Amino acid sequence: MLLEHVGPQVTAMVAEIPFDNYPQLIGLLFEQNQINATKVIYNLNDSTSTDEIYMRLLNIRERFNCSMEIFHDEIQNFPIFFSESWSPPASQFQILDKQTDEFRNVASYFNDDHHRIIHVERIENQAWGKIYEEEKEKIDKRICSSQTDRILFHGCLRTASEEILQRGFDKKIVGIHGTDYGDGFYFSTNPMRSHMYALPDLSRWGERTIFVCHVIVGKTCHPYSTIEPDKIEYDSITDGSEIYVVSSNR
């Protein structure tokens, strides 16, 4: 079956993998009417959770240029098998008690007489947290600094917030709130600016949704900088005042 679908080269490569190294996660690339195995190969073990496998697949997906994707008639006819229990890593929510320091800390960002905090929910997602720590560690080492993340705010429609809680900051929503500084995910240091984008949900008595996020900004540059981006690696764009734009959600 493997030989029939992926050809002799990939089949031979898979056959050379010792059984002790199974299971394996192997990325396949279809180009010039031929399927090739990419070098993105991860060793898995029995303790690897489905959440972690899912996040690794997302990371592999981001390495490919989606503008080069095409649909092939033969590939469209391949049967697709999946487990009915398979799902993206679920986020857990905990409503914070108003008497806790954690609630007061979040509420302090919105300390004014014109807005009322209805509730604060802590979002917990072990898979996302692990990826965040790994990416921050890489950027910290690259720019020789541990001050690479910030507390930033993102206001949005409630429907958009539900999508974010399911899939993170999906590239499909890029540009919804503007592209003044290019495509990317827009955050602000000013919660009141984010409040403007958190349009009221009329079905819930005008409630608004704002995310308080840990965002890896890394090395930033001005959107109108004359520095050639190919020569210096940047992780985000900032207007130098309130706005930060990051191009990846991982």
Q: Is the dihedral of CA 229, 234, 238, 244 positive or negative?
A: positive
> What is the domain extent for residue 41?
2-76
Q: What does pTM read for this prediction?
A: 0.65
Q: How confident is the model at residue 88 (pLDDT cuts 50, 70, 90)?
A: low
Q: What pLDDT was estimated at residue 204?
A: 85
Alpha helix ranges (H) inside 23-62: 50-62
Reported as a single tens digit per residue, the pLDDT across 206-234 is 899 999 999 999 999 887 655 554 456 78
Reported as a single tens digit per residue, the pLDDT across 112-159 is 777 889 999 999 988 888 889 989 999 999 999 999 999 999 998 888
Residue at token pair 């409040």: 195
The answer to whether the CB of 212 falls within 8 A of the CB of 194 is: no
Q: What pLDDT was estimated at residue 70?
A: 44
Last residue of a domain, one of 76, 110, 125: 76
Q: Are residues 35 and 117 in the same domain?
A: no
DSSP string, 175-240: TTT--TT-SSEEEES-HHHHHHHS--BGGGTTB-EEEEEEEE--SEE-TT--S-TTTS--SEEE-S
Q: Are residues 168 and 121 in the same domain?
A: yes
Q: What pLDDT was estimated at residue 146?
A: 92
**Better-scored residue on pLDDT, 16 or 85:** 16
Q: Are residues 27 and 53 in the same domain?
A: yes
Reported as a single tens digit per residue, the pLDDT across 12-63 is 777 776 666 666 666 666 666 666 665 545 555 656 666 666 666 666 665 5
Q: Is the pLDDT reported for residue 4 higher than 90?
A: no
Question: Is 236 inside any structural domain?
Answer: yes
Number of domains, the chain: 2
Reported as a single tens digit per residue, the pLDDT across 149-207 is 999 999 988 888 888 888 788 666 555 555 677 778 899 999 999 999 898 988 888 89
Length of the chain: 250
Q: Are residues 96 and 70 in the same domain?
A: no
Angle CA 156–92–110, to nearest 5 = 40
